[in-house]
Every structure is written in C-alpha cells, then in structure tokens.
Amino acid sequence: MAAAIIDGRAVAARVRENLKEEVAAFHAKTGIQPGLATVLVGEDPASEVYVASKRRSSVAAGMADLHQHLPADTSQADVERLLRELAADPAVSGILLQLPVPAHLDPAPLIELIPFEKDVDGLTTQSVGLLAQKKPGLRPCTPSGVIELLDAYDVPFEGANVVVIGRSELVGRPVAQLLVNRNATVTIAHSRTRDLAAVCRTADVIVAAVGVKGLVTADFVKPGATVIDVGIHRGPEGLSGDVDFAGVSEVAGLITPVPGGVGPMTIAMLLSNTLRAAELQYQLAQQ
C-alpha cells in the first residue's frame, strides 16, 4: 500500500497565515513591528536566492525587512562591527547570518555575536545550551519544522522509537534533542553506525538528515513507519532527498516528498522564530 504524503507546503502556508495574524496582534498590542535582519556577505548565487526568499516571506508576514548586504571582501572586523550594531538596535528582532560566509571569514565567532534573544537560527552556543536544558529559547528552524510536520499529521512520537540519521549541529543533533524533549526514544545514527538498515528498521519514525542522495531504501523501513526526509539534492531531473521516495513510499505509512516536504517549513519556522524573538525582547524589556 502506498504511503500517505505529508504536504509540507500546505502546513507551511498554514503556519505563515497564523503568523501574519499573530504579528498584527503583537504590533497592535505593543507598537512593535518585528524586524528580521538577514546578513549576506558576498554574492553566492544560492545564498542570494535563499535570502531573497526569507526577505519576501518576512514582509508578507507583516515584518520589517532589515536586510544588510556586505561585499565579498569585507573583513572579519567589519562583519563583527555590523553584527554588534544589529545586536544593539531595538528595531532588529532577529539576526540571521547567511551561511556559508566567504572563505576568509571565520563564521563561529561571528555567530556568537548574535544575542540569544535575537538568534533566529538557534545556532549560538547559548541557544544550543538552552535547548539541551529544555529552557525557553529559539530553536533551529529546520528541526522545528520537522516537529511541526509530525504534529500537523498527529504522528504519535511520544514513547515511540525514532531514528535520526545524521548528527550535524544544524539538523541531526537539534532534531534529536527536540524529539527527546517530547518524550520520544531517540537513536542518533551517523556515518560510523553499524548496519544502518537494521537500526532504522526498529524505528516508528525515521528522520533522514544525511546529505546522501537516496540512502534510505525500502529495506530500511518498518511497514507503516513515518519517514521524514530533510535531504536536498539538486540533479538534472530536479530536487530529490536522502530517501528513495518511490521504493520507500511502498512500505512507509507516511512520508515527506522532496520538494514539498521539510523544505517549505524552514522559512515558516524562521518567521515564527522572528516573532518569538520580538516577544522575548518585549518581555525582557518589561522586567
């Protein structure tokens, strides 16, 4: 039997519609219009497309577009200066440093200049610690999008076996933390895992965040399991994921397609984080 498809575009559209209303209500209540400062250094074509899409979406949600574009040869000190200015600027609710930055820049100290209450990517050491300790803070966008999709389709992952394939700081680790915080029994598999297929067959939910095209095949999947594909690969035939969609959808109960699954959720959760950031700063200012 073919799996039911998780429609990420529809869920993302719903999240964005709700956010538009929440942004308007927050603006009416506080007089504050949430503002997103995307920071792009250089002219990487893929990054330009991503940033343009984030800017368009934030404006559509009623937020201020506070984009900053720096030339490719900007020094580390000048990027740091801009990030410090944005950190201190009360009009800026969220700061997003678009990665990768040009090779002469060291991204780690740049990311650390983003205060936790403006860290809409959820990548600073402080945000990672807040997630690990289950304290309020901003969570990374793609992992939050995975949880939002599971919730939207009422996937019962509390107590369930979830296998996350991948342990990156951007996706694998934070998605595993979010799932543990929601009481899933989580296994993190990675490049050194022995017999990955056997590990995955124990899963009620598989989250593939590997970066290897078509790695997850039908023999990895317990019949009826939910399969979430975070991978994105560009090929001559278009986009595809870490999951062999045709084969796996014959076995799984629910599955995300690529494109149209996790991808659309990432920007929706970025917008959600920008509003949460504005709310958090408002609360901190009241104390």
- φ, ψ at 16 (rounded to 5°): -70, -40
Instruction: Tell me whether residue 121 is one of the annotated catalytic residues.
Output: yes
Task: Verify binding: residue 190, ligand NAD, rule CB under 6 A.
Answer: yes
Among residues 53 and 191, whose Cβ is nearest to ligand NAD? Answer: 191
Among residues 100 and 223, whose Cβ is nearest to ligand NAD? Answer: 100
Q: Identify the residue among 196, 268, 278, 280 touching ligand NAD (CB under 6 A).
A: 196
Structure tokens that stand for 23 in this block: 């942004």
Q: Identify the residue among 132, 191, 224, 246 touching ligand NAD (CB under 6 A).
A: 191
Task: Verify binding: residue 47, ligand NAD, rule CB under 6 A.
Answer: no
Please classify residue 232 by burial: count the beta carbons closer than 10 Å to its beta carbon, then call 0-12 exposed, 13-18 middle and 19+ buried.
Answer: middle
Q: Would you give the binding string for ligand NAD spanning residues 160-179, x where CB under 6 A is met?
A: -----xxxx-xxx-------
Minimum distance from residue 125 beta carbon to ligand NAD (Å): 17
Q: Would you give the binding string for ligand NAD spanning residues 243-262, x where CB under 6 A is met?
A: -------------------x
Q: Identify the residue among 102, 107, 115, 211 touching ligand NAD (CB under 6 A).
A: 211
Instruction: Tell me whether residue 286 is one of the annotated catalytic residues.
Output: no
The Cα 91–Cα 34 span in angstroms is 8
The Cα 92–Cα 66 span in angstroms is 7
Q: Identify the residue among 155, 176, 179, 209 touching ligand NAD (CB under 6 A).
A: 209
Question: What single letter denotes the amino acid at residue 139?
Answer: R
The Cα 224–Cα 219 span in angstroms is 13
Task: Verify binding: residue 266, ligand NAD, rule CB under 6 A.
Answer: yes
- CA 155 centroid distance within chain: 19
Q: Which residue from 143, 100, 101 is spatially nearest to 122, judged by alpha carbons? A: 143
Minimum distance from residue 67 beta carbon to ligand NAD (Å): 20
Please classify residue 156 by burial: count the beta carbons closer than 10 Å to its beta carbon, then call 0-12 exposed, 13-18 middle and 19+ buried.
Answer: exposed
Percentages of the chain per state (helix, strand, coil), in multiples of 5: 45, 15, 40
Minimum distance from residue 28 beta carbon to ligand NAD (Å): 32
Q: Which residue from 75, 67, 69, 66 is spatially nearest to 110, judged by alpha carbons? A: 75
- φ, ψ at 216 (rounded to 5°): -85, 110
Minimum distance from residue 232 beta carbon to ligand NAD (Å): 4
Q: Is the peptide bond before 71 cis (omega within 30 degrees of 0)?
A: no
From the candidates 118, 119, 121, 244, which is the catalytic residue? 121
Task: Verify binding: residue 203, ligand NAD, rule CB under 6 A.
Answer: no
40: three-class secondary structure by DSSP? strand
Cα-based distances in Å from 273 to 19, 138, 148, 187: 10, 6, 13, 27
Instruction: Tell me whether residue 98 is one of the annotated catalytic residues.
Output: yes
Residue count at the site for ligand NAD (CB under 6 A)? 24
Q: Would you give the binding string for ligand NAD spanning residues 127-156, x where CB under 6 A is met?
A: ---------------x--------------
> Which residues in this chain contact ligand NAD in the complex, by CB under 6 A?
142, 165-168, 170-172, 189-191, 193, 196, 209-212, 215, 230-232, 262-263, 266
Catalytic residues: 54, 98, 121
